[in-house]
Structure 1
Amino acid sequence: MSKWDGIDEFIAVATTNSFTRAAKSIGMSPTHVSRAIMMLEQRVQAQLFNRTTRTVKLTDTGRIFFERCERIAQERDEAIALVGEQGEPQGELRVTCSTALGERFVAPIIRRFATPHPKLGITIDLSNRIVDLIAEGYDLGIRTGHVTDARLISTQVASRRLYACAAPDYLARAGLPKCVDDLAQHLCIVGTSSTWHFREAGSDRLYHPKGRFQCNSGQAVIEACVAGIGVCQLPEFYVLPYLKHGMVRLILEDLQPPDEPIWAVYPQRRHLLPKIQQVVQCLQLELVTAMS
């Protein structure tokens, strides 16, 4: 009997909370999975699951055992993949990115990257929530701003500029703000970020905008701005097309914040995999050009 016997079945049950779903996920019968778990519990001399007719849940011992087994199994699979790939990206690549950045730039770049690699499967999840890459099984995340998770490696792939702007007719009515504090006298259009960034007197200055129009779509925010609803701050790719045609005007230009970095982040144990190395290199080469 191998010391690995029952580990994959255990991980599958712990992940799916079901013997039936676990069996389907690993291509085995429920009977096989049940027998493997029973033999594993006998080997470790501990109950790993609390079972009822309707639920399967890890015991406290099972939870600790699962954390160790999952990490070891991932490292085993990645070691095999690292040798087996021999420089060719293959397997599954799961990526998470914010919706607008993903739709406009990241998804097209990764699609082009995947085209010459038929052994590579791609899943891109576009969401504005902060995803726990490790807990949720993602290979790569695209993040802006500061990354503080010590479990992740961060590689800068681009940067973006934030512009504050308003429509000319709005400014004709409300006046031109000359400092950050003047924004309190203006109608602010709030997007996904509840904090606006400026650079004032050599220091970073944060402003929490308030207004009667709020939307989690940057495109909707810039269109409201063009319509004269108020002032907004957005990444340059939203603002520049309207700025070019005089439909908006930049405000507080002398208080422009530093460019915001865009990072590719990935779990430390995956940084040697060809699929990670090569997609990050591709993003570094193409994202700056695509956003300019």
Structure 2
Amino acid sequence: MDKLENMKRFVTVVQTGSFTRAADVLGLPKSSVSEAVKSLEQLIKTRLLQRSTRQIHLTHDGEIYLEKCLSILEQVDMLDTHFLHPSQLSGTLHIDMPSRFAANIILPNLHDWYDSYPNINIKLSCHDQRTDLIKDGIDCVIRAGQLEDSSLIARPLLMLSTINCVSTNYADEYGVPMSLDDLHHHVLIDYAQNLQTQTPVFEYVKEEVVHHLPMTSKLQVNSTDAYLFSCLSGLGLAQIPDLSARSYIESGELIEVLPDLKAPAIPISIIYPSRRQIPKRLSLFMDWLQAQTKKVRPD
């Protein structure tokens, strides 16, 4: 069997987490997928996967081999597409981003992408959590904050300002904070990516210095959707990105409070694996994404 084909099957097993799911994705018998991995292991004389009845794990050698396989398959793909006009490119891009970013920027404009690149499909997953791009087979993610993993590259997209918000029903019941001292009589909706134990704080910039004021919180969430809709439901004060909050403020569902005490702007970036060359499909998508953000942030 072709070695490249075996590599593709091995990568699919890792990305799906099982031989059965890999076989379903590839449209092959499970035995064919299993034989492909065994053939690679016999060829390089090392075990790539630790198998159990419930799950599989990469061995140390398997992790190294996976990285090399991805690089080789990527090079082959780039060679296959090198001489094609962008409109002739085909395939699928797996992109991951927060659901509010998808709703506000990507989905309303995705038809433009398909007009330009009709044969490049998008597999879109939406959450805020950290993910392993290599093992999960993700081409790039959109994330807020600073990049911590040196094996990845961050391409800046935009700086996202936030708005301090309460809902109208919250304001009717508890009033509106007019000063920092007033915040001691209000509750904060706490956003934490990993739902870790932390002191809920109201974050604000004053005289170019970032300050953190501890506040009472009865609710902690790890989703941008849950954060927004908790505020809309009157469960407390939230510091919401302006792209998400603006329409609700205009409709009267949310009220901006303490406009002179805003949190620092949040850097939003495209994050992708650190490789010497970027597949043409991915490069085109990142350029397109940059153009979409300029529509909402012309500066």
| Cα distance change of structure 1 residues 209 and 75 upon mapping to structure 2, 3 Å threshold | farther
Contact 1:190 1:210 in 2 (8 A): no
Give 1:206 shift.
3.2
The structure that has the greater radius of gyration is 1
Q: Look up the match of 1:170.
A: 171
Contact 2:100 2:244 in 1 (8 A): no
Tell me the matched-pair count: 287
Q: Look up the match of 2:197.
A: none
Give 1:166 shift.
3.6
Distance in 2 between residues matched to 1:290 and 1:188, nearest whole Å: 28
Contact 1:95 1:125 in 2 (8 A): yes
Contact 1:152 1:265 in 2 (8 A): yes
- Residue by residue, what CA displacement relative to the aligned partner does 1:153-209 show, whole Å, maximum 9, x if unpaired? 222223322111346783896463422x64232133445676543103431123454
Which residue type is aligned with residue 278 of structure 1?
L
Q: Look up the match of 2:247.
A: 241
- Residue by residue, what CA displacement relative to the aligned partner does 1:50-90 show, whole Å, maximum 9, x if unpaired? 667x5784674652453344334343334334525454443
Report which stretch shifted further, 246-255 or 90-99: 246-255
Q: Look up the match of 1:73.
A: 72
Is 1:255–2:261 an aligned residue pair? yes
| Cα distance change of structure 1 residues 153 and 40 upon mapping to structure 2, 3 Å threshold | closer
| Cα distance change of structure 1 residues 59 and 149 upon mapping to structure 2, 3 Å threshold | closer
User: Percent of pairs identical after alignment?
Assistant: 21
Distance in 2 between residues matched to 1:172 and 1:55, nearest whole Å: 51
Contact 2:14 2:135 in 1 (8 A): no
| Cα distance change of structure 1 residues 150 and 220 upon mapping to structure 2, 3 Å threshold | same
Structure 2: gaps spanning 5 or more residues? 194-199
Contact 1:162 1:234 in 2 (8 A): yes
Residue aligned with 1:255, SS: coil
Structure 1: gaps spanning 5 or more residues? none
Which residue type is aligned with residue 80 of structure 1?
L
Which residue type is aligned with residue 220 of structure 1?
F
Give 1:97 shift.
0.9
- Of 218, 229, 234 in structure 2, the residue corresponding to residue 220 of structure 1 is 229
- Residue by residue, what CA displacement relative to the aligned partner does 1:226-267 show, whole Å, maximum 9, x if unpaired? xxx643321213433344466654333222234322212222
Distance in 2 between residues matched to 1:109 and 1:144, nearest whole Å: 21
Distance in 2 between residues matched to 1:47 and 1:173, nearest whole Å: 63
Q: Look up the match of 1:93.
A: 93
Give 1:123 shift.
0.7
Report which stretch shifted further, 110-119 or 59-68: 59-68
What's the TM-score, normalizing by structure 2?
0.74
Distance in 2 between residues matched to 1:170 and 1:5, nearest whole Å: 61
Distance in 1 between residues matched to 2:18 and 2:135, nearest whole Å: 19
Give 1:113 shift.
1.0
Contact 1:139 1:270 in 2 (8 A): no
Contact 1:141 1:265 in 2 (8 A): yes
